[in-house]
Amino acid sequence: MVMKMFLLLLPFVFLSSVVVVVEAQGGSISAVDLSALREIKNSLTDITSSSPNAFFTSWDFNAPDPCSSFAGITCSSSIPRRVIILILGTGLSNSPGLAGTLSPAISNLSELSQLVLFSGIVTGPIPSQLGRLKKLSVISLTNNRLTGSIPNSIFTLSNLHTLDLSHNQLTETIPSSLSDMFSLKVLILGSNKLSGEIPSLPEELLHLDLSNNELSGVLTRKIRMPLTLRYLSVSGNRLLGPLSFLELLSELVYLDLSMNHFSGTIPSSLFRSTLSSMFLQRNNLTGGVPQLPPSSFATTIYGPGSIVDLSHNSLTGELTDTLAGVETLFLNNNRFTGAVPMNYVESVYSGSTRTLYLQHNYIAEFPVKEGLPLPDSVALCLSYNCMVPPVPVGFMACPASAGAQISRPLNQCSAFNTSMP
């Protein structure tokens, strides 16, 4: 899903990297740029330089026209030709990538608009000198071993559209000057070691991924979550507080707040079919799944590909019809009671709901359809509830974490208000 959203929001980021550059007659690369490329090559190396897919094989500084012969280089057509796109690494699945460090000489490529570093084991800090490249619209330095803080200078780049520094070892806080980046639409800083609170965000941000860091604090409306957000992931942090900051984010199609310490009830505005991927598992959420008014049914009909995970919280009450029809639905390890609404059962038997996990609740009834077998494609788990599952154990698809017990002990069901699931 993360890749689908990235391609959706950035149709031009990587397509432009394959543009064929036609050599201008009598043209030559800028001497400044050529010197910068030499320093860049001196600070990096192919992990397997003997491989036929080695990136730097084509970087022959005796070649007559590096703009047409160097891999990863796109130049302007004007003379002297300037490097406008620099893509380091092949990005091929069978290529281990590059090692070394990023040279500050990159900042001498003053016409650069896109800087991409593919997966490898490049170490060291991100050069603060990148802040000199005022034409940069894309910085993507993912899946390496970059360390240190994110340079403040990057947040002065007024034309920056996309910043992806994910899957590195970056530390310290996210600079507060982030909110001043009015052109920024995509920010991906996931899977680092960033700490502190989330600062206010650019007003027109579309895609935000801060997952798997060490961020903390309470998310409130004071943080100014952009109303334009379509993708939001802050999973795997130490964030606190209620979810009220989400109530006005009507453009969201993907939401992942899992594995934090969020509390309180789930806003009813989040239960809509346009928010087709919602992950709230492993928090401290309470309350129940709201029963939405009939007037809103047209906007809450979930379709193929939809997924909702509310598992491992403290949600209570009887299930409502709101989530019937979700293709992949995890409601396990909560405190739901009563009978499962018939709409859920019909969705399971029709195959529109392909996964339904209800184990480790206090559910008393799942009204099966007599004589009608479950579709082979359905994964249904009803174990450890306040009933004997009406579906034979052999026909259920429970994960190993569900345990071997089929039903809850009666004393837990009768003393529900003082028991934990």
Q: What is the mean pLDDT of residues 39-47?
A: 96
End-to-end CA, the chain:
31
Are 182 and 155 contacting, i.e. CB atoms less than 8 angstroms apart?
Answer: no
Please name every residue paired with 311 in a beta bridge, in sequence order, or none if there are none.
none
What confidence tens digit (pLDDT) does each residue in 55-94 have? 999 999 999 999 999 999 999 999 999 999 999 998 887 7
Calculate the CA 368 to chain-centre distance: 37
Q: What is the pLDDT of residue 368?
A: 83
State how far the Cα of 30 lies from the Cα of 66, in Å rounded to an integer: 10
User: In the structure, what pLDDT confidence band is assigned to residue 96 with cuts at 50, 70 and 90?
Assistant: confident
Please say if the pLDDT value at position 165 is more than 80: yes
Please say if the pLDDT value at position 271 is more than 80: yes
Q: What is the pLDDT of residue 345?
A: 92
Q: What is the mean pLDDT of residues 209-217?
A: 97
Which range is least confidently modeled, 11-25, 31-45, 214-228, 374-388? 11-25
Calculate the CA 325 to chain-centre distance: 24
Q: What is the mean pLDDT of residues 291-300?
A: 64
User: In the structure, what pLDDT confidence band is assigned to residue 13 with cuts at 50, 70 and 90?
Assistant: very low
Residue 45 neighbours by CB distance under 10 Å? 16
State how far the Cα of 302 lies from the Cα of 107, in Å rounded to an integer: 48
